Amino acid sequence: MSRYVIVGSTGDIGKKLHEQLSTEETITFSREKEPEYDSTHHFLDLSYAQDKAVIESFFDGVDGIDGLIWCPGYSLFSLVQDTALDEVDNQYNISIRNLVAFIQVLLPKLRRRKGRIIVITSIWGRHGASYESIYASMKGAQEALIKSLAKELAPTGVTVNGVAPGIVEGAMTALLSEADQQHLLDELPQACYVKPAEVMHAVQYLLDENAQSVTGEIMNVNGGWYT
């Protein structure tokens, strides 16, 4: 049986990933929501910098990991001049700082199984986003980390990839007004949001043994919406 770590397992995308991997051994993390599927679950607020010793304690006795899937996050709608620096820190901790901490802790366990690191990024990290400049910047930093680590870890057999969804149907889009949602739908070439199951399908491909040579890639799942 394979063993996967899903960080952000109760969001729209994370929940679908957990569902798909529920027949495997999973170690999951969320801030406050209980997972819907069986796992060894831990609550952790990733908006704060987490100590490596705390993260290590969650993996006592775990010898090998087949995959780390990183998908926590929340949107930050704000003009840059109106954004509190505490919010910038929160976004940095969620997207980069704690991701690096988890990778540092799990890397020896991933090496044992030639595991996968998969980060759910965003179309905004690829193209930028007015009124979401901080969120987009952190997603862009994730892309640079993915591409760099793919080169760094290639000799170990550990692959590092990202999936960059467009506008995903779920809690984040529900925060928008009906008018804003309709404006988005009018811009989308396929005139519909990306479904979490479509993101999950891309992750499934990257986890497959036949994707061993795929590393350093960012898979676009956006319905043809290249902004």
State both tokens at 194.
């990306």
Task: Say whether 205 is catalytic.
Answer: no
List 48, 135, 193, 205, catalytic entry: 135
Q: Would you say 123 and 136 are in contact if contact means Cβ atoms under 8 Å apart?
A: no
Residues 6+ apart with CB under 8 A from 184: 167, 173, 176
CA distance 81 to 85: 10
DSSP output for the chain: --EEEEESTTSHHHHHHHHHTTTSEEEEEESSPPPSS--EEEE--TTSPPPHHHHHHTTTT----SEEEE---------GGG--HHHHHHHHIIIIIHHHHHHHHHHHHHHHTT-EEEEE--HHHHH--TT-HHHHHHHHHHHHHHHHHHHHHGGGT-EEEEEEESSBTTHHHHTS-HHHHHHHHHHSTTSSPBPHHHHHHHHHHHHSGGGTT--S-EEEESTT---
Active site residue ranges? 135
